[in-house]
Homo-oligomer: A and B are copies of this chain.
Amino acid sequence: MRAPSKINSEFHLIEKLFAPHADAKTAGHLRDDAASYTPTPGHDLVISTDMLVSGVHFPANATAEVVSARLVGSNISDLAAKSAKPVGCLLNLAISEAWDLPFLTDFASHLGAALAAYEMPLWGGDTVQSQQASVSLSVYGELPSGTMITRAGAQIGDDVYVTGVIGDGFLGLQHALAGTRGDSLAAYHAPRPPLLFGQKLRGLASSCLDISDGLAADLDHLCVSSHTAMQVTLADIPLSPEGQAYATSAETLADLLSGGDDYQLAFTAAADKAAPLAALATQNQLRLSKIGTVKKPVQDRFEAAFVDGSGQILTLHRRGYQHF
- Enumerate chain A interface residues (CB-CB to B < 8 A): 2-6, 8-10, 28, 31-39, 41, 43-53, 56-57, 78-79, 81-82, 84, 90, 92, 94, 123-132, 134, 136, 138, 140-141, 145-146, 148, 150-152, 209-210, 212-214, 216-217, 220-221, 224-225, 258, 318-320, 322-324
Q: Which residue of B lies closest to A3 (CB)?
A: B221
How close is A174's CB to chain B, nearest CB, in angstroms?
Answer: 19
Q: Evaluate contact between B45 and A37: CB separation under 8 angstroms.
A: yes
Partner of A92, one of B51, B127, B213: B51
Count identical subunits in the complex.
2
Q: Evaluate contact between B130 and A53: CB separation under 8 angstroms.
A: yes
Q: Evaluate contact between B324 and A10: CB separation under 8 angstroms.
A: yes
How close is A269's CB to chain B, nearest CB, in angstroms?
Answer: 17
Q: Which residue of B lies closest to A127 (CB)?
A: B324
Further 15 A-B residue pairs, CB within 8 A, beyond A34-B46, A48-B124: A2-B213, A5-B214, A5-B319, A5-B320, A31-B225, A32-B151, A32-B152, A33-B82, A35-B46, A35-B48, A38-B45, A47-B140, A49-B90, A51-B94, A130-B130
Residue among A10, A128, A214 having the largest count of chain B Cβ atoms under 10 Å = A128
CA distance A138 to B51 in the complex (A): 13
Q: Which of chain B's residues have a CB closer than 8 A to the CB of A34?
A: 46-48, 78-79, 81-82, 84, 141, 148
How close is A125's CB to chain B, nearest CB, in angstroms?
Answer: 6
Q: Which of chain B's residues have a CB closer than 8 A to the CB of A209?
A: 32-33
Q: Which of chain B's residues have a CB closer than 8 A to the CB of A152?
A: 28, 31-32
Q: Which of chain B's residues have a CB closer than 8 A to the CB of A53?
A: 94, 128-130
Q: Evaluate contact between B148 and A47: CB separation under 8 angstroms.
A: no
Q: Which residue of B lies closest to A77 (CB)?
A: B33
Q: Evaluate contact between B45 and A45: CB separation under 8 angstroms.
A: yes
Q: Evaluate contact between B134 and A134: CB separation under 8 angstroms.
A: yes
How close is A234's CB to chain B, nearest CB, in angstroms?
Answer: 18
Q: Which of chain B's residues have a CB closer than 8 A to the CB of A4?
A: 213, 217, 320, 322, 324
Q: Evaluate contact between B130 and A136: CB separation under 8 angstroms.
A: no
Q: Which of chain B's residues have a CB closer than 8 A to the CB of A319?
A: 5-6
CA distance A81 to B28 in the complex (A): 15
Q: Evaluate contact between A150 and B28: CB separation under 8 angstroms.
A: yes
Q: Evaluate contact between A46 and B36: CB separation under 8 angstroms.
A: yes
